[in-house]
A and B are shown apart, each in its own frame.
Chain A
Amino acid sequence: GAVVSQHPSWVICKSGTSVKIECRSLDFQATTMFWYRQFPKQSLMLMATSNEGSKATYEQGVEKDKFLINHASLTLSTLTVTSAHPEDSSFYICSARRGTGLIGELFFGEGSRLTVL
Chain B
Amino acid sequence: QKEVEQNSGPLSVPEGAIASLNCTYSDRGSQSFFWYRQYSGKSPELIMSIYSNGDKEDGRFTAQLNKASQYVSLLIRDSQPSDSATYLCAVNGGYSTLTFGKGTMLLVSP
Residues of A within 8 A of B100 (CB): 43-44
Nearest A residue to B100 by beta-carbon distance? Answer: A44
Indicate whether A93 sits within 8 Å of B43 (C-beta atoms), given known contacts A44-B88, A49-B97, A106-B90: yes
Residues of A within 8 A of B92 (CB): 102, 104
Residues of A within 8 A of B46 (CB): 1, 105-108
- A23 CB to nearest chain B CB (Å): 11
A43 and B103 contacting across the interface, CB-CB below 8 Å: yes
Q: How far is the CA of A86 from the CA of B22 in the complex (A)?
A: 36
B42 within 8 A of A: yes
Indicate whether A106 sits within 8 Å of B43 (C-beta atoms), given known contacts A43-B103, A44-B88: no
- B35 CB to nearest chain A CB (Å): 12
The 7 closest A-B pairs by CB, nearest first: A43-B102, A111-B43, A108-B43, A102-B31, A93-B43, A102-B32, A108-B44
* Chain B residues within 8 Å of A, Cβ to Cβ: 31-32, 34, 36, 41-46, 49, 51, 88, 90, 92, 94-95, 97-98, 100-103
A52 within 8 A of B: no
A44 and B44 contacting across the interface, CB-CB below 8 Å: yes
Nearest B residue to A59 by beta-carbon distance? Answer: B97
* Chain A residues within 8 Å of B, Cβ to Cβ: 1, 6, 34, 42-44, 46, 49, 91, 93, 101-111, 113
- B101 CB to nearest chain A CB (Å): 7
- A21 CB to nearest chain B CB (Å): 13
Nearest B residue to A111 by beta-carbon distance? Answer: B43
Residues of A within 8 A of B34 (CB): 105-106
Given contacts A44-B100, A104-B92, A108-B36, 17 further A-B contacts (CB under 8 A): A1-B45, A34-B97, A42-B102, A43-B100, A43-B102, A43-B103, A49-B97, A93-B43, A102-B32, A102-B51, A102-B92, A102-B94, A105-B49, A106-B46, A108-B46, A110-B42, A113-B41
Nearest A residue to B42 by beta-carbon distance? Answer: A111
Q: How far is the CA of A1 from the CA of B58 in the complex (A)?
A: 14
Residues of B within 8 A of A103 (CB): 32, 51
